[in-house]
Amino acid sequence: MTVTLWYDGACPLCSREIALLRRLDTRRQVHFIDLADPSAACPLEPAAMLARFHAREDTGPLLSGAAAFAAVWRALPLLRPLGVAAQWPPLLRLLERAYVAFLGVRPRLQRWLTPPAAPSAGR
């Protein structure tokens, strides 16, 4: 099984998360698509793709939120048990609620991880 994952390469929080997922992808089962790349192909409008985490298993339907995370986890040997467990509807609903709560604090986390702009040396 392969998974296509779309992510925001301009987001420092997302970039860190993707770096971790790449390290865990020992079998190279995840195809990472950076939406910050203007040539990136995406199945929805870019704004919609950037608003939530999206993934697709093989040629299956486009998944978002917790379901997308679970699909990626199933492709990674270390996280596969969690991804399989997330197929249980009550757990997936709980993970989705946690994901939606995370989306509320995500902008603050992004600001914390964004380095301050360097002062200009224009004289």
The 10s digit of each residue's pLDDT in 54-112 is 999 998 999 999 999 999 999 999 999 999 999 999 999 999 999 999 988 876 776 77
The 10s digit of each residue's pLDDT in 6-47 is 999 988 888 899 999 999 999 999 999 999 998 988 899 989
Cβ atoms < 10 Å from Cβ of 60: 12
Note the maximum CA span of the chain: 62
Higher pLDDT, 78 or 115: 78
> Cα dist. 103→35, 74, 80, 112 in Å?
18, 22, 24, 15
| Rounded Cα gap, residues 16 and 108, in angstroms | 15
pTM value is 0.84
